[in-house]
Amino acid sequence: MELLHAAQVGLLTLSSVVTLVAGVAETATDEAVVAMAPQDSARAMGQGRDWDWDREQARIDEARRLTRDWPEKQRRQIQRMSELHGSPAGVTDHVVIWRDVEPFALITIERKSVRHHFPIKHEDFMAHAVHYDIEPDRVDELTAFDGSVYVDRTGGLLAAKCDTQAHNLLALNLGHDVLSGSRSAKEAQKEFARIIAMEKRGMSHDYLEELQFDPGSPDSAPDPGESMDLDQFDLDDEEDREQRDRRSDRDSDRDRDR
């Protein structure tokens, strides 16, 4: 079977990633699946996964072929994520995807990157998402903090998009601080910049190492919203009749123009 293609996959939204993952996971073959490096398989085996070593090596070779013309930064992170998290769910011409690799619900690496100047100039191409119970009244503050930290409220996901897993962990941890109300957007921005400055000087920080909060449950985090009673609307009242009449007039005008 040929490599699966994602039509016009550019800057992926969380919902499109979920859709793409579902399709890849259901129909991917060896050609479409990238595998982890054997020397680091023990780490992922701790998650209870079974490994066929010959098949893993074949997948590694195939992964290199499928992404050999990708930018160097992306190829390096594909290798790193494979070492840390094992085989991706799939790879297309545009994106490599992992799912359900604790503590993350989704990891994606895109061939195309996006320029981002906060807190310093870099390229965004890798996203990490976790299950999260979204508080809608804090989402505006989250957006003010960092445009590359975003939510899928319906799917119950909080995601960060940057260039390394450490930086996404930092963004997720500070995003949690903002959503939980323990930091304002401005405070989170300042702390982000401070920790990056520490990293540049060879120092580390807990926010770069691992999540400082417990992700939500895939069963409880999604928020499907509430259905509305469509019968409550009187579609025959005068205002609605006027709207229908205007629409009918526009349709008639178009017919005459033809």
Examine residue 133 and state whether it is found in any structural domain, yes or no.
yes
**Of residues 248 and 56, more confidently modeled:** 248
Examine residue 106 and state whether it is found in any structural domain, yes or no.
yes
Examine residue 238 and state whether it is found in any structural domain, yes or no.
no
| Nearest CA-CA partner of 143 in 195, 179, 182 | 179
Examine residue 3 and state whether it is found in any structural domain, yes or no.
no
Bridge partners of 101?
Answer: 104
Examine residue 31 and state whether it is found in any structural domain, yes or no.
yes
Counting the structural domains of the chain, the total is 1
Give the predicted TM-score (pTM) of the model. 0.74
What tens digit of pLDDT does each residue of 188-211 get? 999 999 999 999 999 999 999 999
Highest mean pLDDT among 72-76, 235-239, 246-250: 72-76
Question: Range of 140's domain?
Answer: 14-209
The pLDDT value recorded for residue 14 is 53
| Nearest CA-CA partner of 41 in 28, 54, 22, 25 | 54
The pLDDT value recorded for residue 37 is 38
Bridge partners of 150?
Answer: 159
What tens digit of pLDDT does each residue of 90-141 get? 878 888 888 899 999 999 999 999 999 999 999 999 999 999 999 899 999 9
228 touches 186 (CB < 8 A): no
**Of residues 17 and 242, more confidently modeled:** 242
Examine residue 225 and state whether it is found in any structural domain, yes or no.
no
